[in-house]
Each structure stands twice: as C-alpha cells, then as structure tokens.
Structure 1
C-alpha cells in the first residue's frame, strides 16, 4: 500500500509539473506578448499624435512617419482625402487620390469572429489610422511610383501628389479606373487600376514625355506597415516579411529579425514579396521577366516603427515624344488555397503558393489539405472531412498497424511469464534480459513493433495540426453542436460544468467535452497494452491520458476530434485482434483499480 501511495503522489507531482510547465512556457509568454503589444500600441499612438521625422529612403522611398495630428479614427482619416471607391464580391474600400495609394481594403466575406454581427476583417488602412495590433488594425498600404535616374531631378509623383481621376465611377472587376498627374515639366503620368473578382489588383503605369529632354525613371512598388502587429507567436507559423527571389528561394523574415538586421537586399528575376499575417497577406508581384532589386526594411524614429517590402525595376529611358509603360500587380486578400494556387499557375508566379505557410512537410501537408478540401466539397463539413481522412489513413496503414497490434496483443498474452522472469531474476538484470529475449524469440514477438502505430501518427498528426492552424478554409469552420470553429479550442469546460455555471474559467483550464472524450479513448487504448512492470512507469502511464487531456485541450478542436476518432478506430481494430488471440480485456477491473475501489478481502 505504501508503494502505491508513493506512486500516486509521484504521478500527481508529475501532473502538476507538466501543467505548470505548460502554463509557464506557453501561457505566460502569450500573455506577455499581448501586454507588450498593448504597450507598443500606446507608444505608437503617442508617436502619431506627436509626430516624428521622415525616415531615410532606401532604394525605393521609405515609409513615411506620421505627421503631427490630432488622433483620428480610421473612418475620419479615410474621409479626409478624395478617393475612388473599390467594390468587388470579395473586397470593399478605396484608393487614395492623394498619393495614389491602395490603403483602404476590407474583406467583404470574412468577419473577425463567428458572431453574425462581428465586423468585417480590415486588411489595409491609410497612414494616420490608429494602431490596434491585437486586431491587425494599423496603417498598412501599398504604393507605386517612380524614382528619378542618377543625376536627374525630375519631379515625380509622391505621397503628397494629388492625382486626378479620368471620368468617374468605382473600381470594379468590369470597370478599371485611370488617374493622371502632370509634373509641369513635360511629363504626364497616367495610372490605370484593374481588379479581378477576388484579390488581385493590376497597376499599369505609363509616362508620356512631351518635353525637350530625355527622362530616366526607375519604377518601384512598396508595401508599408506601421507598428508591430500582434502575431500568434508559434514556431510553426511565419508572420512577417516574405518573398521568393530566384535562386535564393523562399525568404521568411519575422518582425523582430528585420528589426535586428534593419535591411536585407535581394536581386532576382520575377518572384514576389510582401507582408503576411496568419490568414491574410499583401504581396507585390513585379513583371516576371524583369530583373528587380528587392528589399526588406525596418525604420524606427523614436517609438515609431514601420516595416517595408519594396522592389526597384531597371531604369526606363523616355525620349522626347515617347511613351513608356510598366505593369505591376498587388495581391491583397485572404490566403485561400485555390485562389493562391490559381494565381501561381495563371500568372506563372514563381512559388506563389508558398505565401501559405505549408512548412517543411509541404509534401504531406498540402496533399492532406487537398484531400480534406475535396471531401468538404462533397459533404459540406470539414469535421466530417477530418473523420473520413482519418479512415483513409487508417486504411492505408492497416497491414502495418495489424502487425503492430498483433505484437502488442502477444506481449499482453505472455505478460504473466514476463513478470515471472523478472521476479525470478530480479537481482540479475543481464540474465533477466536474456530470458526475456528468449521468450520473445520463442513466441515470435517483436517488442518494438508496438511503437509503429504511434510513429505512423506523428507526421499525420503534425500535418493535420498545420492544416488546421494555417489554412483559412479551416478558420471558423463549424462541426456539429457547440464546435463552431474547428481551428479554435473546444470552448466548453469541465470546471464550469460546460457552461451551466455562470463564470468563465482560466484559459489553461478549458477542459472541454472533446478533450475529455479524447482522454477516455486514450485511456481505453492504453488498457489494451501490456502494463509496464516498473511501478513508476506504470503509474506514469496510468496518469498520462489525464496529462494529455489537459495539454491538448488548448489545441484546435479539429485536432482533438481527429485524435479521439483515431483512438476509437485503433481500439476497435485492436479489440478484434485480441479476441482472435484469445486475450481478455478487463476494463471494469482496471477502472476500479485506478480509483482504488477494488473489494478488500473479507477479514
């Protein structure tokens, strides 16, 4: 009895250590990031109100620091300048006629939360807008223009230039918009914006030289973001500056990394670059047949911080009486897999699909999503897709799993003999191992075979976790009942009786119904395995389902549903094999033993 008590105490201590460690290494850093984001927000808003000097320009114009102003709302900033409205099935917003910037975009089909009255997601906002890093609301815009060639002092349009719209009307998929500006020295700049029904804006710039002198101009494009947004903070997801540059391939630089480096330069033909969030992105796509000088930049003046991706094209020489044209594209929207893949193929953009962070296991993660998406299109429910994909994976590895479960069953069948050998040679470990190996050989048992079901699950588990975590298709995807978002944790909690008691519980105690189901299925599966002979190991494995229940409770509900369903299928498969080998499973006795309810012998 003393040994049992010691083991139970040890298990409880281990449980507490795991929970405290989880909270310390995951929960507390997340809370600290949120507090830091709020401090940055307050400091940056103060900088906006007080003003800051202009940062130095790089190869392309640098990000503008906010001028001194009275704090305004985003709506007030937008209303302060003349604009051309944007209206498509997926996007609404406007182009600022002052500077010609694309700086006002709202995603018409996405809301911030699952609530019906939740506001739509704001993607781009003009300079001077208030900074709210928690909701990614901050100055975030795209700008296109020209830089004079070496030795030239030609007036070119800049952030203060007031463009004139030719004609009137909105920018829609069927109606382009044209802006013009005359520099007063013989050059007329004309810019035409086109937009498709999803998220691609095409910018066509032309320059007419009616003067007497030759002009040399470098076209540029930039995306600027003011203030540091709050990121998810997970290693498996990149949020920040991103691009593909020829032989250098995919480049991902986080906000803190570019703050340290200050600038990174790339030269390549084609490719793309931008700034990405978890589900949304803004990306520049220069002419894929043109060599460009691209860069990632960070600017800071006082407390004002800004991040920039930009490219500079080769010089265009405009002879008197001549006209030159250049075309660029801006992707600004949700990172929907089909849409992003479609642009990569139709525009022949090098690895544009990597705008979505498929990760190192790209060859597993993306095909897994494709299968799930195909099932979703047939069933209309991503939760059902998860269940069916789990069935497909189980079917794929059925022969290997069958051998593994057969080995586990044989281990359980000969466990009394194993215990007898360990007791007989308790003081001679070498002889004990020799006798055990002889037993395994005689019964044709591979003691390592039982590891395969777990090993097989690891890449699938990680790939599914990645799919649930990064793909916007999974965002706010409902299952049944209380699961309204498969990419978020189960919102219920055992500690308030699943909502019956009127109080909220701490985040790390959100032990919902599905995590509990997962824990029960895991416990049942472990009862079908041979019990470890070492008392400490036995106690640890006895409590492991509880530890996993706590740890996985904060994972996306879709992942917990997968794990519970996979456990259930494994239990059924192993039960059939155990019955075939004549091995009996005493679940009820194990339950009573676990809770110390076994009957005492009569006195």
Structure 2
C-alpha cells in the first residue's frame, strides 16, 4: 500500500470513527430523549395512576423488609401545592433550602441554592427532592419494620410526627421528631445537616413497655417517574451504589424495570439514585451487615427505589436503641465527594461521578482543568492552557512525526518519478519505496501520531465537559456563557440578526445550529490540511477538501469548550508544523495550495 492510499484509508477510518462517536454521544441520546418527551410532559402535568392509593396509606410490604416503592394519589397538584398540603419544618443551610415533611418524617423537599436551571441568574433554583402527591416525587424515608408475626404499631408514611422544640433545621440546629405508638414505644428521629449536602439521621426507640421488642431499621430513596436522561450512552443515570465486595453497581432505569429486583448482602458501602449533576444517596453504618436492594414497580408511572435493611435491634423493657445513617442530597462536586469519602469514611464515594472506562485519562484531565481554573478564574482559559500543556508533553513525539512528514515532502518528487518509472510493477514499486524510506530514515506512518494523540485527549475533555458539574454554566468570553453547551449562535440566522431559531426545524435543526466557534474550528482544520499539497488522486482530493466542512457541521452540536479546544489545538499544530518544516528546509506551501485550490483548471484539449 503506497503512502497516498495509506493516508486515504486512515482518513476514511477516522471519519467513520468520528461518525460512530457522534452517533454514540449525540444522535443516539437525542432519539432516546425524544422517546421520553411525551412521558415527561404527562408526568410534569401531575397525571398519576387512578388505581393508586390515597396519600398517607402505607404501601404493601413484606414482613421484615423495607416498604415497596410507595404509591401516590391520583392528583394534579403542583409541587408547591403538595408541599403546602402538609405540616413542615423549614431547612435553611448555606447551600440548601426546603423542608422536612412531618407526615411520614420524610426528607422530601430540597432545592440547591448555588445552582439554577439556566445561565440566567434569575431562573429557578435546581429542585432535587420533591414530595409525594405532586409531579415527579423523589424523597428519602426512614423507619422500622417488624419481624414476621409481630403485632407492633409502627410509624408509617401517614404518621404525623411532633417536632420537639421550634425553629428551622440548620447546620447549628438539629431537628428532633417524636411519635408514640400507644403500646409503650416512643420513636424519635433526629435530623442534622452540615454546611454542604450531608444529612445525618438518627432513629431512636425508647421501650417503656413490659416486654422486649425486636425491630429492623431501614432507609430508602424512592423516585416516581423516569426523569429525562441526558445521555444513556455517555454517562450513567439511574440507580447506583458501591457495595462492599460487590463493588460498583450501575443499573439504568430500563434495566431495573426488566430485572424488577436486585438484592445484595454486604458490609459497608452506599447506594442511591443519580442524575447527571445531582444525586440522592443513602449511607448505612459502615461496620454492619446490610441487605441492599434496587427495585422497580411497573405502572403508568414507574416507581424506583433503593433501600437497605439492617439486622434486628432488640429493645428490652426500660431500655432504648438507636441507629444512625447518612443521606447525601446535592450536587456531585468532586471536592465535596472527596471530602465525604475521607472524613465520613464512605468508600469510593467519588464514583457518584461517572468518569467512564477511561478514568485514568478523564480524572487527570479534570484535575488539570480544575487546578488551572482556580489560578486563572476561567475554565475556557484553563482549556487553552491545558491544550498547551498537552502539546508540550507530547512535543517529542509530534516533533518526530512532523519531521518525518517534512522529509516525506522533500522526497515527494523522487517518489512520483519512482511510481511513474515502475507503474507496471507494483511489487518493485513498493520495494523501491521501502528502500527509499529506509535510506532517508523516514517512518511513513509517523504522520498518524498527532491524530492518535488527539483522539484520547478529545474524548477525555468531552467526558469532563459533559459529566462534571464544575463545567456546568461555566462561561468563556463573549457569547459563550456555558462551555458545556453547544455554541448558541448560528450562521443560518446570521448569528442572531434574524429573529429565528434554526433549532426548531424538525429533524435537521441541530445541524443548522452552526455557530461561530465551529466555523473557526473548520477554518483552522482547513488551513492545517492545506499545509501539505493535495494528493494527486482525484478521489482523495475530494475527501480531503470536504473533510473540514464535514467536521464543522459534526462538531457544531458538541460542547463549546470542546470546539474551542479543537480550534486552539489546530492553531498550535499549524504553528508547530510550520516551524518544523522551516527548520527542515521544506517550503511551506500553504498560500500556494490555497491559490491552487481556487485556480481554474484548463479544459482538456479535444
């Protein structure tokens, strides 16, 4: 295979690879999102299954097991109406606001003060937990279950707890709830919260009766309705846990709907339900054996639940017992997760962030970006500086590659003459070429090295931009207000001069969102390819001519931070290659190639 055909094959394979990447990261997720839009709209209107139980009725459960995923009423209440329908104690911390539901003693109303739905500073705060009775319930619940055959009145989801004392739950003011079952048992639930996202819940039983009582403590997180996922291909959303020797558990919503129930007996760990940027996770005592479960209940509105059950506690007459668990309800910030992992002894808690299979590249990439961000105060600048650092790190390899490419240009006339001389003897032509490469100490495959280096960096940066909340709504300069979102401008409405949104066009709207940065990227790619003369084969010429335009439209739907990286990387590569070519004494033919591209070719003589 000669050099030109090798380059053509590599270009085709690269294009196929990028098309596959686009299908994997964008087109596939877009189709799946579209399938869930109707269901999401129905759920947000509050339409529920008319056969479900009324609020406050305990869901059916097996003895000695946590309640099954709870059911909700046939109601069209809004979230605010559902909150107003019950007695509550407010939550107010530096980073959270919401309330504790005295009916059931649930943590079911949490909003994040530091995060909003859009880049508009006046847009609503992100809502994480929501109560039963409104749209998309998502809450944490605690309680006790009795062994088989026991006849003990226990607090349920319709139990109204009495707060001991008055005031708001704050980091300095824990909340204690009390309930008496009328059979000599007094239940107390003390809820404390730190300055970030961690709740500590202690359930205590005082036995004033005449007989010992044996009960099993449980904790659960329940979600009603499947949320609209960002991308089931690029990151995990759904049920998650890290459970002792069983390791990391990642179960997508549709998988648990088919599996129904997954139960694991382990010691130590955590489990919960995760979204792209937010999560609710329950953490049992790390030195006790637990039965951890992931389960789903089918219906018009599917219900999902993660829970754990501890061993029975026996409370003698006149004695008491208590159990403490923790609840994480907040944003998946790397710094916060690392802190909880270290200070609270929560194993591998940072796995709430989906770093992917290539975490050994993704995590160092995030560390570099985050470290530089704290120095310069702008993630866009951090991307540019990290690109320079990556270029410097791989400079020796790239230098050898570009030097080899420059030598190839120098011997190009000799190669052309050789092909013409031996055009009828392919074997002799290939042998002569190999001999020439060996004589000149040229590696013909060296030109692939810069691209091979760029692909894993490209993917790692894409993953970081997509999954880390630190990149969410991170601005650059000018019109780029969110590096994790595509460039919002479009050539097809003259970059905002025409009051029309091209993205509204059915089926092809995302292709019409061709912003300024994707155009810059395509132009730099075009210049980079014009540093070398077009191959003599007409088919190869067409491919290399149109490839920058193809990539321009392809990357237009990718995060702006990724397109800025690619543009900057292309610019640095042009400067690096031109410098090496000049040092090797090879003519830089950029302007000649540009002239040749637009020069009109003479018509062949009749």
- TM-score in terms of structure 1 length: 0.92
The alpha-carbon deviation at position 55 of structure 1 amounts to 6.2
Contact preservation (8 Å) 1:356, 1:470: yes
Contact preservation (8 Å) 1:65, 1:304: no
Number of paired residues?
581
Residues 1:150 and 2:156 are matched in the alignment: no
Q: For residues 312-351 of structure 1, what are the alpha-carbon distances to aligned partners after superposition, in whole Å with 9 as ceiling and x for unaligned? A: 0111111111110100000000001100111011011110
1:537 maps to which residue?
540
The alpha-carbon deviation at position 234 of structure 1 amounts to 4.0
Residues 597 and 57 of structure 1: CA distance in aligned 2, closer, same or farther (over 3 Å): farther
1:127 aligns with one of 132, 136, 139: 132
The alpha-carbon deviation at position 212 of structure 1 amounts to 0.9
Alpha-carbon distance in structure 2 between the residues aligned to 1:582 and 1:598: 29
- Between stretches 310-319 and 362-371, larger displacement belongs to 362-371
Residues 1:462 and 2:459 are matched in the alignment: yes
Q: For residues 333-378 of structure 1, what are the alpha-carbon distances to aligned partners after superposition, in whole Å with 9 as ceiling and x for unaligned? A: 0001100111011011110010011111222211221121111111
Instruction: For 1:281-296, list aligned pairs within 5 A.
Output: 281-296=279-294
The alpha-carbon deviation at position 36 of structure 1 amounts to 3.0
Residues 423 and 495 of structure 1: CA distance in aligned 2, closer, same or farther (over 3 Å): farther
2:226 maps to which residue?
228
1:82 aligns with one of 74, 87, 101: 87
Contact preservation (8 Å) 1:223, 1:309: yes
Q: What's the secondary structure of 1:541's corresponding residue?
A: helix
Contact preservation (8 Å) 2:48, 2:72: yes
Alpha-carbon distance in structure 1 between the residues aligned to 2:152 and 2:305: 25
Contact preservation (8 Å) 1:297, 1:307: yes
Contact preservation (8 Å) 1:520, 1:545: yes
Q: What's the secondary structure of 2:214's corresponding residue?
A: strand
Alpha-carbon distance in structure 2 between the residues aligned to 1:145 and 1:24: 42
Contact preservation (8 Å) 1:142, 1:223: yes
1:6 maps to which residue?
none
The alpha-carbon deviation at position 597 of structure 1 amounts to 4.3
The alpha-carbon deviation at position 536 of structure 1 amounts to 1.8
Contact preservation (8 Å) 2:24, 2:233: no
2:530 maps to which residue?
527
The alpha-carbon deviation at position 431 of structure 1 amounts to 1.7
- Between stretches 401-410 and 150-159, larger displacement belongs to 150-159
The alpha-carbon deviation at position 415 of structure 1 amounts to 1.6
2:235 maps to which residue?
237
Instruction: For 1:137-286, list aligned pairs within 5 A.
Output: 138-286=136-284
Alpha-carbon distance in structure 1 between the residues aligned to 2:184 and 2:466: 54
Residues 24 and 102 of structure 1: CA distance in aligned 2, closer, same or farther (over 3 Å): closer
Q: What's the secondary structure of 1:370's corresponding residue?
A: helix
Alpha-carbon distance in structure 1 between the residues aligned to 2:232 and 2:207: 52
- Between stretches 451-460 and 174-183, larger displacement belongs to 451-460
The alpha-carbon deviation at position 590 of structure 1 amounts to 2.2
The alpha-carbon deviation at position 491 of structure 1 amounts to 0.8
Residues 504 and 304 of structure 1: CA distance in aligned 2, closer, same or farther (over 3 Å): closer
Contact preservation (8 Å) 1:44, 1:227: no
Alpha-carbon distance in structure 2 between the residues aligned to 1:265 and 1:547: 48
Instruction: For 1:401-416, list aligned pairs within 5 A.
Output: 401-416=398-413
2:473 maps to which residue?
476
Q: For residues 525-577 of structure 1, what are the alpha-carbon distances to aligned partners after superposition, in whole Å with 9 as ceiling and x for unaligned? A: 22234644443223212211111111111111111111111111111111111
The alpha-carbon deviation at position 107 of structure 1 amounts to 0.7
The alpha-carbon deviation at position 34 of structure 1 amounts to 2.7
2:590 aligns with one of 587, 592, 598: 587
Residues 1:563 and 2:566 are matched in the alignment: yes
Alpha-carbon distance in structure 2 between the residues aligned to 1:167 and 1:233: 46
Contact preservation (8 Å) 1:411, 1:530: no
Q: What's the secondary structure of 2:296's corresponding residue?
A: strand
In structure 1, runs of 5+ residues without a counterpart are 1-10, 131-137
1:102 maps to which residue?
107
Contact preservation (8 Å) 1:52, 1:304: no
Q: What's the secondary structure of 1:278's corresponding residue?
A: coil
Q: What's the secondary structure of 1:498's corresponding residue?
A: helix
Contact preservation (8 Å) 1:163, 1:181: yes
Q: For residues 67-101 of structure 1, what are the alpha-carbon distances to aligned partners after superposition, in whole Å with 9 as ceiling and x for unaligned? A: 234x1111011000000100011110001000011
Residues 588 and 350 of structure 1: CA distance in aligned 2, closer, same or farther (over 3 Å): same
- Between stretches 471-480 and 260-269, larger displacement belongs to 260-269
The alpha-carbon deviation at position 40 of structure 1 amounts to 5.2
The alpha-carbon deviation at position 499 of structure 1 amounts to 1.3
Alpha-carbon distance in structure 2 between the residues aligned to 1:126 and 1:264: 25
Q: What's the secondary structure of 2:478's corresponding residue?
A: coil
The alpha-carbon deviation at position 412 of structure 1 amounts to 1.8
Q: For residues 404-460 of structure 1, what are the alpha-carbon distances to aligned partners after superposition, in whole Å with 9 as ceiling and x for unaligned? A: 110111112212222222233233222221111111112110011111111112221
Residues 204 and 571 of structure 1: CA distance in aligned 2, closer, same or farther (over 3 Å): same
The alpha-carbon deviation at position 269 of structure 1 amounts to 0.9
Alpha-carbon distance in structure 2 between the residues aligned to 1:210 and 1:519: 77
The alpha-carbon deviation at position 290 of structure 1 amounts to 0.9
1:369 aligns with one of 363, 366, 369: 366
- Between stretches 119-128 and 494-503, larger displacement belongs to 494-503
Residues 1:306 and 2:303 are matched in the alignment: yes
Alpha-carbon distance in structure 1 between the residues aligned to 2:495 and 2:602: 33
Residues 1:498 and 2:503 are matched in the alignment: no
Residues 521 and 175 of structure 1: CA distance in aligned 2, closer, same or farther (over 3 Å): same
Alpha-carbon distance in structure 1 between the residues aligned to 2:550 and 2:411: 29
Residues 511 and 23 of structure 1: CA distance in aligned 2, closer, same or farther (over 3 Å): farther
Alpha-carbon distance in structure 1 between the residues aligned to 2:598 and 2:293: 63
1:4 maps to which residue?
none
Q: What's the secondary structure of 2:382's corresponding residue?
A: helix
Residues 1:34 and 2:39 are matched in the alignment: no
